[in-house]
Amino acid sequence: MNIASFLVWQGEWRQAQEVLARMGEKYPHYPEWAFYRGEMYHRQGKLEEALRSYERAIELDPQYAEACLRIGMVYEERLPRPSPSPGRQGFGGGACIPLSPMV
């Protein structure tokens, strides 16, 4: 698994895909290959493919917390971004909610 995660984090997509495919064939009941395949797609901006891969990891292990977290991240990335209010700038392009100071 270390080789697959290293390739994904290094952006070696073709090699990562090959390693992950072999892992999925050899260890079909291990959720890690599906999770790292999701990571690979997520890093490439292929959100639908990433979502399917993370969901597969959860099918294999319903307690796979990292895959659950990543699904939430994919859904968040798919949400439309609010337009900034006129005259507001700063962090988040004006999408932040102003907070009152603690007293």
pLDDT one-digit tens code per residue, 82-98: 766 665 554 444 444 45
Helices and strands: H and E segment counts in the chain: 5, 0
**Residue 16 domain flag:** yes
pLDDT of residue 78: 84
92: in domain: no
In a domain, 40, yes or no: yes
Segment among 1-10, 49-58, 59-68 with least mean pLDDT: 1-10
| CA gap 52, 86 in Å, rounded | 38
d(C-alpha 78, C-alpha 51), whole Å:
11
What confidence score (pLDDT) does residue 73 get? 94
SS (H, E, C) 16-60: HHHHHHHHHHHCCCCCHHHHHHHHHHHHCCCHHHHHHHHHHHHHH
User: Is 98 inside a domain boundary?
Assistant: no
> Is there a domain that residue 12 lies in?
yes
Q: Say what the pLDDT of residue 2 is.
A: 83
State the residue range of the domain holding 25: 2-79
CATH of the domain at 53: 1.25.40.10
Domain count of the fold of the chain: 1
**Can you tell me the mean pLDDT for 42-68?**
95
